[in-house]
Amino acid sequence: MARRLSIACLQTCPKATIGEAIDEALPIAEKAVEAGADILFLPEYCSGLVSEEGMLKPPAAPDEDHPMVSVFQQFAKRTKVAVSLGSVAVSAASEKIVNRSIMISADGKVISRYDKIHLFDVQISATEVYRESATVIAGNHASIINLDDFKLAHVICYDLRFPQLFRDLAQAGAEVIAVPAAFMKKTGEVHWHVLNRARAIENGCFIVAPCAVGQIPGGGASYGHSLIVNPWGEVLADGKEERGFIQARIDLDEVKHARARIPSLSHDQNYKVTS
């Protein structure tokens, strides 16, 4: 029997405070549920994002009573729709924060947490430099969520550039991998679609990539173009540069069919690199 699911990516604008971020996301979430979505995916730092001299300084709160998490727990319980909070900034014991993805079940319970492993330390140009590690503690653990009748994994933004992480998750059974992001506009224009489609093709899985859109308070801009990509690498929905949401109905059995046609996940070989 086919396993079909209606999913939606919220494409929200970066906001300076958690309160503003909640006000931004909730109305869009309501519309996505009204449109029939079974599960919602929000972008990275959906609880707010600010930059300051090349450093990302999102508003943070403790994990146990984070306002964004609490609000969407109530939302999920009321609507009976699962919610993936792409990431929120969580306070840590040190002066740094944790960039944490939160999965909320349809009954309002937090069922998974993932802390971003690969941190965005890059120099895009002479004047555009980002050092996420200056303010964020990296995670060291990835996991798969058994959600209803399928297996879901989540990574975050810069993780997209590390294909071995995706391969490990796919080989462990992940059928859908969420890639929430606040991808920079400059790199997004050339890399975003290619990387997301490649990760779907390489692993024969659905890629669900909600991305923030528009100017980041303090400087910089997010690319938008939230994507839903099938296991064959075809783009089912693209948010382009519009605030709102995208939606697609997916058949999870396509994962099995794609992996049967090109079973590369079982073809790994041992080899040496010499120079």
As a whole number of angstroms, the distance between CA 46 and CA 99 comes to 11
Q: In this structure, are residues 152 and 131 in contact, taking their beta carbons and an 8 Å threshold?
A: no
Instruction: Report whether 133 contacts 122 (CB < 8 A).
Output: no
To the nearest 10 degrees (0 to 180), the angle between helices 18-34 and 67-79 is 20
Residues with a known catalytic role: 44, 116, 157
Could you give the CA distance from residue 32 to residue 22 in angstroms, rounded to a whole number? Answer: 15
User: What does the block give as tokens for 94?
Assistant: 């040190």
CB 87 within 8 A of CB 116: yes
- 32 by Cβ neighbours in 10 Å (0-12 / 13-18 / 19+) ranks as buried
Measured CA to CA, the distance from residue 1 to residue 21 in angstroms comes to: 39
CA distance 137 to 207: 25
In this structure, what token pair is assigned to residue 64?
């146990």
List 244's β-bridge partners, or say none.
Answer: 11
CA distance 20 to 14: 9
